[in-house]
Amino acid sequence: MGEVGPRRRPGGRAAAVVAAVRRAAVELLEEVGYEGLVLTDVASRAGVNKTTVYRRWPTRVQLVSDILLAQAAEQVGTPDTGDLVGDLCVLLADVAALLRTRAARAVLAALVAGESDPAVAVARDAFWAERFGRSAVIVERAVRRGELPPGTDARLLLEEASSPVYFRLMFTGEPVGPADIELFARRAAETARARPSSRR
């Protein structure tokens, strides 16, 4: 039998390339903004061939939205504390922690800066659909526990809970502490309980 070479770790090289490209893109977004972001510059900064970048991310919109989705997937979970308010508090704390990072702020600012681009609007809508869809399980579990009425609009509840966090950290610069997070969570839960169910 011939010698068997060392087994490669699955995704090792590919994962390293993806991480390098994402890191380079965030650095450039911080330096030149969305309008100044050029994929060939990203490739150069990451130390990879430009075809590697274009193969995975044909446009800068796709690269920016991919980075934001990856950041959110890594840092924002779907907690299960056994209580709706508890779940919302953990979720909002994760969102706040994400929004305090330079990388997330740079990417979100890029999406806002490019809002006149139809492709950016599509990427933005896809991001929110994915995030709200992933977090909807929190509301679904609360319905099963009897904390919320059947037919509760999951997205509306999540929007009402998270909007103050985004508004403060992205626009007004006001602090968001544990007491604020609990207030936002309780207020959203109480509003959802009082709202007529969408199920007829």
Alpha carbon separation from 169 to 108, 114, 175, 176, 177 (Å, rounded): 12, 20, 7, 7, 11
| Coil, strand or helix at 200 | coil
Token digits of residue 155: 């997205």
Mean pLDDT of 71-87: 93
| Cα(95)–Cα(185) distance, integer angstroms | 13
pLDDT of 58: 94
| Cα(195)–Cα(139) distance, integer angstroms | 14
Domain 9-57, CATH 1.10.10.60 — does that match? yes
Residue with tokens 């544990």: 178
Mean pLDDT of 33-44: 93
Which of residues 195 and 1 earns the better pLDDT score? Answer: 195
pTM exceeds 0.75, yes or no: yes
The full 3-state SS of 169-182, as one line of letters, equals HHHHCCCCCHHHHH
What residue spans define the domains of the chain?
A: 9-57, 60-194
Least confident of 22-26, 112-116, 161-165, 181-185: 112-116
pLDDT digits 0-9 by tens, 46-60: 999 999 999 999 999
DSSP 120-182: HHHHHHHHHHHHHHHHHHHHHHHHHHTSS-TT--HHHHHHHHHHHHHHIIIII-----HHHHH
Of the chain, the percentage scoring pLDDT greater than 70 comes to: 92
Q: With 70 as the cut, is the pLDDT of residue 118 above it? A: yes
What crossing angle do the helices spanning 118-145 and 154-167 adopt, rounded to 10°?
Answer: 120
How many other C-beta atoms lie within 10 A of the C-beta of residue 94?
18
Which of residues 4 and 25 earns the better pLDDT score? Answer: 25
Q: With 60 as the cut, is the pLDDT of residue 10 above it? A: no
pLDDT of 110: 78
Of the chain, the percentage scoring pLDDT greater than 90 comes to: 62
Answer for the pair 49, 43: CB distance below 8 angstroms, yes or no. Answer: yes
Mean pLDDT estimate for the chain: 89
Q: With 60 as the cut, is the pLDDT of residue 72 above it? A: yes
| Cα(5)–Cα(8) distance, integer angstroms | 9
pLDDT of 197: 65
Q: Identify the band that residue 82 occupies on the pLDDT scale cut at 50, 70 and 90.
A: very high
Q: With 80 as the cut, is the pLDDT of residue 32 above it? A: yes
Least confident of 29-33, 118-122, 162-166: 118-122
pLDDT of 138: 98
Domain 60-194, CATH 3.40.50.20 — does that match? no
Token digits of residue 59: 């446009």
Q: Whose CA is closest to 162, among 65, 97, 81?
A: 97
Q: With 50 as the cut, is the pLDDT of residue 192 above it? A: yes
Which of residues 116 and 49 earns the better pLDDT score? Answer: 49
